């Protein structure tokens, strides 16, 4: 089941139309740093699989819920950078939706 909002004009990296309830998988880098005498040095990072749910926020499609490190969170994807919803969906792939694949967003704790 897909909830389609009459031609959203948003498409993922494979050309699939993005709808409310769709789930994206993406990599998130978590940096580890150590202090040196010269200041902070970023010396390593780990990449983790993350998931994002498409929904309505302030009357428009946006990413409204995330699963980060096996836990669901509500977060603002625009808080720390200027990435727009349109840019995000063009660079990533829809891997399922909340109606058919709810397990993708379930807590694993």
Confidence (pLDDT) at 21: 93
Does this model's pTM top 0.75? My answer is no
Rounded CA-CA distance 41/4 in Å is 46
Residue reference for tokens 């694949």: 101
pLDDT band at 5 (very low <50, low <70, confident <90, very high): very low
Contact yes or no for 14/91 (Cβ under 8 A)? no
Residue reference for tokens 């009459």: 6
Confidence (pLDDT) at 39: 66
Confidence (pLDDT) at 4: 47
Give the pair of three-digit tokens for residue 34: 């150590």
pLDDT band at 99 (very low <50, low <70, confident <90, very high): very high
Q: Which of 64, 94, 90 is nearest to 78 (CA)?
A: 64
The 3 state secondary structure assigned to 8-40 is CCCECCCCCECCECEEEEEEEEEEEEEEECCEE
The whole-chain average pLDDT of the chain stands at: 75
């Amino acid at each position: 089941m897909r909830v389609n909002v009459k031609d959203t004009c948003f498409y993922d990296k494979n050309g699939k139309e993005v709808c409310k309830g769709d789930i994206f998988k993406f990599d998130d880098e978590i940096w580890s740093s150590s202090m040196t005498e010269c200041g902070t040095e970023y010396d390593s990072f780990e990449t983790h699989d993350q998931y994002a749910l498409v929904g309505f926020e302030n009357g428009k499609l946006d990413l409204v819920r995330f699963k980060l490190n096996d836990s669901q969170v509500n977060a603002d994807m625009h808080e720390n950078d200027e990435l727009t919803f349109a840019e995000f969906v063009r660079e990533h792939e829809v891997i399922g939706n909340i109606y058919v694949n709810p397990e993708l967003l379930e807590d694993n704790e």
